[in-house]
Amino acid sequence: MAEKLLLFDFDGVIVDSIAFYEELTRLYSEEIGFTIAETREDFLSLYDDNFYLSLRKQGIDLDALGKASKVVAPKLDYDKIRPFEELFPVLEAFSRDNVLLIVSSNSGTTIERILSKYECYRCFRDILGADFMVSKVDKIAHAMKEWEKDTAHTYFITDTTGDIREAQEAGVVTVAVTWGWHSRERLERTAPDHIIERPAELLRLLEPDVSD
């Protein structure tokens, strides 16, 4: 079986962070004087597209948001973000014969801060966060070039429709998981290649492919 490049979204896939980032969005709104999301549906809709593109469409100044983060972020307890520990043995199994990266709209520094406390951190070869590139299409293309993988052997594992659309644009295999931020029904609208209900089911991606 050929080695695969497995690109994991962070929030909603590896960690349970929706309540934390809803609160962070509310605090950002107060800091910049502009309501980013009034309801949970408003919040989830930000991830129907690339997160930063969604903010721009709302007329939000990303530079102002960046300045607000320096005020707000130090006040928050990132220890409240907990991983989906059921995923740990899956990551361990994948990492033996494949290349695992994190591709996220979150900052690489934040991801490292949260994951460094857990054994699963060592499963990942790199983190491509918001401080690397904004577009996940570009991040995926960079990862494939860096690790010399084609689209047939590159998988993007995510929990939001916006990510699925970007992965489809990049031409890679799309894997939607239902334990994250977007519901199965919402995910199905984007017709991902695979929909996974439980972490252990991801292991079927390791099954030999006759094309390998």
Residue 55: name the closest of 81, 27, 25 by CA. Answer: 25
CA distance from start to end of the chain: 6
H-assigned helices in the chain = 18-32, 40-45, 51-57, 62-72, 88-97, 108-115, 136-147, 161-170, 184-188
**Torsions phi, psi of 157, nearest 5?**
-110, 120
Q: What is the pLDDT of residue 134?
A: 87
| Regions of the chain with pLDDT less than 50 | 210-211
Residue 5: name the closest of 105, 108, 151 by CA. Answer: 151
Q: What is the pLDDT of residue 179?
A: 97
pLDDT (tens digit per residue) in 165-187? 999 999 999 999 999 999 999 99
pLDDT (tens digit per residue) in 93-109? 999 999 999 999 998 99
What is the maximum alpha-carbon separation in the chain? 55
What residues contact residue 71 under an 8 Å CB cut-off, 6+ apart?
31
Give the separation between CA 209 and CA 131, rounded to whole angstroms: 35
Q: What is the pLDDT of residue 210?
A: 41
